[in-house]
Amino acid sequence: MKNFKEFLNEKNTGKKIMSDVDGVIVDFGGAFKQWMQTNFPKVPVDITITGPTAWTFGLEKDEAWKFVELFWNTPAGVERLPFFPGAKAGFNRLAKNFSIHVVTALDPRFKGARLKNLSGFNYDSITIKGQGKLEHILNVTKPDIAIEDKPEYIKKMSAAGIDVYYPVLPLTSGVGAGTKYRSWKQLVKMIEDKYLK
């Protein structure tokens, strides 16, 4: 027989959620743009670009990644990325009924900073993948539900039978697979309505 604490901690659905971090839990694009405007005001950064060049922010690829690398190496770049409104509360609400596994594409040397940034988030595991994130999700994590913002991953996970949810961002416009959401409140409601009722 389960004691009361075990009962409270039981994952009621038996379903596994995989959650991305950047663009899903934290506003990497907004934080990067603000950091660029403060530190390199003469370099124009556009976070509204869609399609495969979205993460070059309107810059040449090599130039963009030079600035992204500088940004990642600041405390603001990983440790203090701002959360999307309702992300922490929504994430932790889902954690009461689902097994949650965070899989994030990040240089492994920033793992400590990422863990610090996600302090207070209730998850069952976190995997930092410099390379091979999608393969890890499909072959190791094997979630029932995924929260992701990269169009290529959304399409491939949907094709693999995973119930994928993605935020409405310039990056995700025209994805044509999965289910879009506009806020964490809406996301949690959609998942709970589908799996808890």
- How long is the chain? 197
**Which tens digit of pLDDT belongs to each residue from 93-114?**
999 999 999 999 888 888 888 9
**Are residues 125 and 101 in contact, defined by beta-carbon separation less than 8 angstroms?**
yes
Multiple choice CATH, 4-26+83-195, 3.40.470.10, 3.10.180.10, 3.40.50.1000, 2.40.50.140: 3.40.50.1000
Which percentage of the chain shows pLDDT scores above 70?
91
**What residues does each domain of the chain span?**
4-26+83-195, 29-78
**Which tens digit of pLDDT belongs to each residue from 9-48?**
445 668 999 999 999 999 988 899 899 999 999 998 888 8
Question: What is each CA distance from 162 to 81, 140, 152, in whole angstroms?
Answer: 28, 13, 14
* CA nearest to 169, candidates 24, 19, 20: 24
Which percentage of the chain shows pLDDT scores above 90?
62
Give the contacts of 139 (CB within 8 A, at least 6 positions apart).
none
Structure tokens at 33: 């743009």
